[in-house]
């Protein structure tokens, strides 16, 4: 059975690290394993482990990519000085309160005239 270093070497050999595992489908990964088995570069059981390892690595890369994107989005929003939902909600409440005060003041003035 090949160890993780051997599997990683095979993945490098077929260029999986270069194109980004997150972009591959499990079916494509299985096709690659089938080709390696067919070419005698690994045994069938090693192929199964290869697919499991690649799918696991794919999940890790996807999670890392999502974290990086989320972090960059948050960073961009904070730099853009954009109002948050809470801040907008607070401003709406203030506006409603001021409108009520204005209505009360204008309504009482109209009664005096």
- Condensed to tens digits (0 to 9), the pLDDT of residues 62-101 reads 888 889 999 998 888 888 888 889 999 999 999 999 999 9
Distance separating alpha carbons of residues 12 and 39, to the nearest angstrom: 16
Q: What is the DSSP string of 58-89?
A: HHHHHHHHHHHHHHHHHHHHHHHTPPPHHHHH
- The pair of three-digit structure tokens given for residue 106, joined into one six-digit string: 């204008």
User: CA-to-CA distance for 38 and 21, rounded, in angstroms?
Assistant: 22
Structure confidence at residue 71 (pLDDT): 92
């Amino acid at each position: 059975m090949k160890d993780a270093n051997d599997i990683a070497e095979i993945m490098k050999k077929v260029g999986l690290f270069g194109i980004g595992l997150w972009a591959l489908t499990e079916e494509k990964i299985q096709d690659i394993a089938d080709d390696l088995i067919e070419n005698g570069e690994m045994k069938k059981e090693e192929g199964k482990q290869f697919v499991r390892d690649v799918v696991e690595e794919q999940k890790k890369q996807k999670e890392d990519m999502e974290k990086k994107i989320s972090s960059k989005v948050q960073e961009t929003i904070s730099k853009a000085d954009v109002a948050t939902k809470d801040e907008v909600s607070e401003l709406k409440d203030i506006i409603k309160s001021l409108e009520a005060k204005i209505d009360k003041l204008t309504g009482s003035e109209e009664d005096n005239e």
